[in-house]
Structure 1
Amino acid sequence: MSTRGASPKGQERSEAILDAAERLLVDEGHSALSLRGVAQRAGIRLGNLQYYFATREELVRALLARILERATAQIEERMGSADTPARALDTALESLLEDQKDPASYRLFYDLWALAAREPTIATELRAFYARYIGAVAERLGLAAPELSRAEVHARAELLVALLEGLSLFRSGTLGAPDRKVEAELRRVSTWLTTKSEPTPPAPSRKKGAQRP
């Protein structure tokens, strides 16, 4: 961001521009994220916006930094509020599942992923965010299951994050309807991730009329 936005008034205007950019990204997608489109959404002239963000790349980087900083703070706050490492993971899991019900939340990250696929700078920032995210999960997981090796801890943390991110596509309705059974399976897998043992398979359903051996 330009140093012209360093004053309190300039910072306030910069935040208002980023608010408009975020709303535009959620409402219309990354393809609509142009300087002119953001200026229109913010209700200011294009020249005024460029006083704070000279290029689209500068604007997108500032927006990405704000979104990822907020997401990181939320993850750390949720995990830090629990009294045990295992409960921290459970709390974070339930909070993230709840977040996925909000269209603004999942649309925002869908478009960040789309931007990352085409813009190397965005991809670098997004990889750094997920590295911190996985690291935070791995830290609590290592405390909850100290018998696991460092490699096992990291692999399981990465698996849990991947499952959550992938599940958001389905729970949003984009690729399918939300399913509570899938949530239950994710919780079962999450419980296994904090133990040394293999995951307990779900009890088989008994068909109507089936006889006991």
Structure 2
Amino acid sequence: MDEIPKLITDLLMPGREGGYAKGYETRELILRTALDILLEEGYRAMSMRRIAAACGMRLGNLTYHYPTREDLVRELLNAVISSYEVEFGTIIHAPGVPPEERLARVCGLLIEDVGTKKTTRLFPELWALANHDGFVYERVHELYDRARAPLVEIVAEMRPDLPEKAQFELALFISASIEGLTVFAGYRQPFADRLTAVERIAVRSFIDIVRSFDPAA
């Protein structure tokens, strides 16, 4: 399998418990293997037996760490979104940086991430699954709620005069607009070579929209 590109979507594992370094390393191996199978072969191929075989372990050893596939998927998605949250936190709390610049940095980071193999393959797979699988639906929307929170925070700082509903809707619009680029300008998509140009247009547009938005208009 190709090496998974690492940008902000690399996994951020939960902290180690006490001195169980080997258990921590095993769980990391399981999650990275599961993600690799998900990206290369799809969710249907990501069975517990398939993951165990790819890890070179017995199924019983795998289920010791993750009793069900739902447990594994829950921690996998948590590890993915946690890596975003760390990067967002660094940007949002950057001292002395105006909110407009922080919004530009967050949006730029997200748009650049759209161009990675990992993001282009992972999220459309999750979107499709969410239409038919209630568990995946809940996990995906939990993930997006957490990812959207930094945008809501910056928009609120830029436009404290707006009601919370309008602040949220602006953040939702920005998030949805960036996600929509995946099928057009993501990894190996038709306009992948235009992603940098689109990023410049999008970031400027998002800042202007937040500055000028009037919910009463």
Q: TM-score, normalization: structure 1?
A: 0.79
Quick check: 1:19 aligned with 2:32? Answer: yes
**Unaligned stretches of 5+ in structure 1?**
199-213
Match of 1:70 in 2: 83
Task: Kindly report the root-mean-square deviation, in angstroms, between the aligned alpha carbons of the 2 structures.
Answer: 2.4
Q: Give the structure 2 partner of residue 208 of structure 1.
A: none
Asked whether 1:196 is paired with 2:196, we answer: no
Q: Percent identity?
A: 29
Q: Does 1:91 align with 2:108?
A: no
Cα deviation code 1:111-162 (max 9, x no counterpart): 2223322321222122122223323212111212333333322111110000
Distance (whole Å) between structure 2 residues aligned to residue 23 and residue 131 of structure 1: 24
Residues 1:114 and 2:128 aligned together: yes
Shift of 1:103: 0.6
Q: Is the 8 A contact 1:147 1:196 kept in 2?
A: no
Rg larger in structure: 1
Deviates more, 1:105-114 or 1:175-184: 175-184
C-alpha distance in 2 between matches for 1:45 and 1:102: 32
Helix, strand or coil at the partner of 2:212? coil
Return the alpha-carbon distance in structure 1 between the equivalents of residues 35 and 86 of structure 2. Answer: 18
8 Å CA contact retained: 2:120, 2:187: no
Offset at residue 174 of structure 1 (A): 6.5
Counterpart of 2:201 (choices 180, 185, 195) is: 185
In the TM superposition, residue 72 of structure 1 has moved relative to its aligned partner by 2.5
| Structure-2 residue corresponding to 1:8 | 21
Cα distance in 2, alignment partners of residues 153 and 145 from structure 1 = 8
1:59-118 residue CA offsets vs partner (Å, 9 max, x unmatched)? 222212222222232332333336121111100111112112211122122222233223
Distance (whole Å) between structure 2 residues aligned to residue 114 and residue 71 of structure 1: 22
Kindly provide the amino acid, as one letter, of the partner of residue 89 in structure 2: E
Gaps of 5+ in 2: 1-16
Which structure 1 residue ranges, 4+ long, deviate > 6 Å from structure 2? none
Q: Distance in 2 between matches of 1:22 and 1:173?
A: 17
| Structure 1 residue 175, shift from structure 2 partner | 5.9
Q: CA deviation at 1:38?
A: 0.7
What is aligned with 2:70? 57
Task: Map 1:109-188 onto structure 2 (within 5 A).
Answer: 109-172=123-186, 176-178=190-192, 179=194, 182-188=198-204
Matched, 1:79 2:88: no
- Cα deviation for residue 173 of structure 1 reads 5.7
Evaluate the alpha carbon distance shift between residue 52 and residue 132 of structure 1 in structure 2; reply closer, same or farther with a 3 A threshold. closer
- SS of the residue 2:62 aligns to: helix
TM-score, with structure 2 as normaliser: 0.78
Match of residue 203 from structure 1: none
